[in-house]
Amino acid sequence: MDSIISLLHSYHTFNNNDIKDRFFKHSDLLNVLDNLKTNPLFEIREVGTSVEGRSLNLIKCGGGTAKVFLWSQMHGNEATATMALMDLFNFLGDDCRDDVKDSILQNCTLYFLPMVNPDGAEVFNRRNALEIDINRDFHSQQSPEGRILRQLRDEIQPHFGFNLHDQTTMWSAGQLGNPATISLLAPAYDDALSINTIRQIAMQVIAEMNDTLQKVIPGHVGRFDDEYEMRAFGDNFQAAGTSTILIEAGGYADDPEKQHIRKLVFVAMMTGLLSIAERSFLRKTVSDYFTIPDNKLHHFQILLRNCKLQTSLPAKQIETANQNSEYTVDIGLIVKEKISDDLKSMTYTYLIGDIGDLSNRFGYKDIDCESFKLIPTNKIIFDEPADLVLMDGLEVLLAIENGVITNSTV
């Protein structure tokens, strides 16, 4: 869909510049909604409140027969798609004529529920204020947020659902060597992973999304794990007759705040909406969907290959065991994110994610250390903070102290 790709050139004209990182709060969302209320295109209705009393708001626009329901951030720390929705509101709400916008608004009625979990968003937590994972609460309905989401689907009876999430940055798009920057899935509605017409249509729309994304981020699209989760909303919405599409925002090199990925989520959503509006997904097949490579947990933040280390065993023991004191391993570092105390930025701790043969794994920073010297400042222990220095001759390439990068030229 070249018309969607060309929108990227004018993205700055509808990008919501008030929201620049993942740490925006419910009050920021309400400011955006206050602006939308002045635009007759949008109907906004408060549909209930969270555990801590924050409002959930349904935004409706368009007058077409295809009903599409989009909800984001049911996991409070998965904010990327909510940012993309802010941009989408600006794009749709602008008065200038645009063929893509006109087609979507004429052929679809759109219902948005952004930030399903505002209490989680407030403290950048996956779960709601009761520590319930809302996306496992479809049946037990103990969270008010889950009840609202389920009631809205029953009330709207949408033909299509877009379930908008973030996944960790450790997923790879198959074995292509790239991170899964965007992952897509038509969730299963039973253990057998059957494909009925409802799920097939979701697969066809996804195939079209994939085509467009491949032109922008070739090889960076993955197919999310399709194991049936009977407690999750997407799986149950699919079963209830809404063709449901999961979009997961993953990782992209040098984009920790996901501002590039935000645009890619916009591209995925817009391609999906235009495909529905013009029914062009009918040209796609289930096998097109299955060409998208499976997500694999194969990515490290930093992968140090061919590190030569010295065993710390006493010389006598080495001799007895007939071992060499030097050994060669790959070391994969993962990053643990923690929200800062002011809830406005992130601290990063690098942990030893794996040690050994990582030849079929990948790194955002992928460094062959064959000719470098790796000095462990402390013992390298799996799942513990990294403490090491990587040297090229006398030059420090990378220094990590108790999990924190103190120097890096790589």
Tell the smallest beta-carbon distance from residue 103 to Zn ion (Å): 30
Residue with tokens 């061919």: 306
| Cβ count near 60 (within 10 Å) | 17
By beta-carbon proximity to Zn ion, the closer residue of 7 and 221 is: 221
C-alpha–C-alpha distance, residues 67 and 57, integer Å? 17
**How are strands ordered across the β-sheet holding 388-392?**
373-376, 388-392, 395-401, 404-408
By beta-carbon proximity to Zn ion, the closer residue of 224 and 364 is: 224
C-alpha–C-alpha distance, residues 36 and 328, integer Å? 59
Tell the smallest beta-carbon distance from residue 187 to Zn ion (Å): 12
By beta-carbon proximity to Zn ion, the closer residue of 1 and 164 is: 164
Among all residues, whose Cβ is closest to Zn ion?
Answer: 165
Total residues at interface with Zn ion (CB under 5 A): 3
Tell the smallest beta-carbon distance from residue 337 to Zn ion (Å): 15
By beta-carbon proximity to Zn ion, the closer residue of 54 and 75 is: 75
By beta-carbon proximity to Zn ion, the closer residue of 159 and 165 is: 165
Question: Do 186 and 245 contact (CB within 8 A), yes or no?
Answer: yes
**Lookup: tokens for 28:** 């920021």
C-alpha–C-alpha distance, residues 359 and 368, integer Å? 11
By beta-carbon proximity to Zn ion, the closer residue of 166 and 387 is: 166
Q: What burial letters (b/e) apply to 15-40, b meaning 16+ CB within 10 Å? A: bbeebeebbbbbebbeebbeebeeee
Tell the smallest beta-carbon distance from residue 387 to Zn ion (Å): 32
Q: Nearest 10 degrees: CA dihedral of 293, 298, 303, 307?
A: -120
User: 279: alpha, beta or left, given left = phi > 0 and alpha = psi -120 to 50?
Assistant: left
Residues with catalytic roles: 229
Report the amino acid identity of residue 241.
G
284 binding Zn ion? (CB under 5 A): no
Q: What are phi and psi of 330, to 5 degrees?
A: -95, 145
Tell the smallest beta-carbon distance from residue 77 to Zn ion (Å): 9
Report the amino acid identity of residue 209.
M
- Residues 154-193: x where in contact with Zn ion by CB under 5 A, - otherwise, as a string: -----------x----------------------------
Q: Which of residues 60-99 bind Zn ion (CB under 5 A)?
A: 75, 78
Tell the smallest beta-carbon distance from residue 165 to Zn ion (Å): 3
Q: Applying CB under 5 A, which residues contact Zn ion?
A: 75, 78, 165
